[in-house]
Amino acid sequence: MKPRRLAIHATLLLAALVVLFPFAWITAAAFKRQIALLTGQLLFTPTLRNFASVLDPTSSDYSRNFANSLVIATASTALVLLVGTLAAYALRHMAWPRWVGHSLLGWSALFQMLPPITVAGAWYEMFRFAGLDNTYLGLVLAHATLNLPMVLWMMLAFVRDVPGELLEAARLDGASSRQVFARVVVPLVRPGLAAAGILAFIFSWNEFLVTLLLSQQQTATVPIAIGKYAQQNTIDYTGMAAAAVLATVPAVLLLLGAQRLIVRGLTAGALK
């Protein structure tokens, strides 16, 4: 029995290495001088120069991109949680005809599977027409829409677990529907809000294609900044590595701090 378990752990460790090594490799590159990277030196003296130049507001837009990403990801997450939770509550606990729920959920599942490029062209024309291109509001709306199917789906799973008797009891005590939502439903689905919120934040933070089309210098986010490195004639690889490593900070922190919630979120509704 013992050697079998050893073999299993060895295989899993190898897989973990395959996952972690590329990440470690780019982190190392972020601390290398360009010359050390280009000559393939495996042993090198670490330098903070790449981070310093990426974060220096006089030579790079990165700190502004970072702030933009924080603002857009936070605002779009707040918006999509509010919209998604209200809708999940409405569909589960209010007397809407069945076809309303079916068509809304069917459409949202389809939209979730659609490559964003299919609607991105139309968004570009619409946002330009409405003056929403290159604005925070436009990007917040776009990101919230992209995340709405996932949040709606997850919140439906959590709202379903709220016992109907509890809501009925609150109503008999004279609470209005609005109060039932704010005082009973929201506190009970807090883990769901946390799970959906973390994933919505991360996916908004990571979003590239739609932001590329709807933003310019003032509103560009972190992924756009990294994408720009690939467009240069001579790529500043170590700068790109430093920018990329900084871009992963929120995801890594959230993963270490809330992995249970993330697993719950990613698998919610998947096993029905």
| Contact positions with other proteins (CB under 8 A) in 181-200 | 181
- Using DSSP's 3-state secondary structure scheme, residue 58 falls into coil
What are 134's two structure tokens?
């290159």
Q: How far is CA 136 from the centre of its chain?
A: 17
For other proteins, the closer of residues 84 and 192 by Cβ is 84
Applying the rule CB under 8 A, the residues between 132 and 161 that interact with other proteins are 141-142, 144-145, 148, 152
State both tokens at 100.
Answer: 């309303």
Q: Determine if 254 is a binding residue for other proteins (CB under 8 A).
A: yes
| 117 binds other proteins per the rule CB under 8 A | yes
Question: Which of 52, 67, 100, 166 touches other proteins (CB under 8 A)?
Answer: 100
Q: How far is the CB of 46 from other proteins (least distance, A)?
A: 16
The alpha carbon torsion through 44, 48, 49, 54 (nearest 10 deg) reads 130
State in angstroms the smallest separation of the CB of 15 from other proteins. Answer: 6
**Which listed residue (31, 51, 62, 89) binds other proteins by CB under 8 A?**
89
Residue 268 backbone class (left: φ over 0; alpha: ψ -120 to 50; beta: rest): beta
Nearest approach, Cβ of 115 to other proteins (angstroms)?
A: 4
* Site for other proteins contains 249 (CB under 8 A): no
DSSP-assigned states of every residue in 168-212: HHHHHTT--HHHIIIIIIHHHTHHHHHHHHHHHHHHHHH--HHHH
Of these, 75, 139, 157, 202, which contacts other proteins (CB under 8 A)? Answer: 202
How many residues touch other proteins (CB under 8 A)?
97
User: Does the protein bind other proteins through residue 110 (CB under 8 A)?
Assistant: yes
Residue 272: which residues within 8 A CB-CB, separation 6 or more? 157
Q: Which amino acid is at 18?
A: V
Name the token pair of 265.
């979120």
- Smallest CA-to-CA distance from 254 within 189, 205, 190 is with 205
Angle, CA 132 vertex, CA 244 and CA 240 arms, to 5°: 10
Which amino acid is present at 195? A
How many Cα atoms within 13 Å fall on the side-chain side of residue 21? 6
**According to CB under 8 A, which one of 71, 78, 90, 186 is a site residue for other proteins?**
90
Residues 7-36 close enough to bind other proteins by CB under 8 A? 8-9, 11-12, 15-16, 18-20, 22-23, 25-26, 29
Count the Cβ atoms, other than its own, within 10 Å of residue 249.
Answer: 12
**Binders in 53-82 for other proteins, by CB under 8 A:** 82
Shortest separation between residue 52's beta carbon and other proteins, angstroms = 19
Q: Does 206 bind other proteins (CB under 8 A)?
A: yes
Q: Does 116 bind other proteins (CB under 8 A)?
A: yes
- Among 45, 172, 178, 216, the residue binding other proteins under the rule CB under 8 A is 178
- Work out how close the CB of 202 gets to other proteins at its nearest, in angstroms, rounded to a whole number: 5
Question: Which of 62, 123, 153, 158 contacts other proteins by CB under 8 A?
Answer: 123
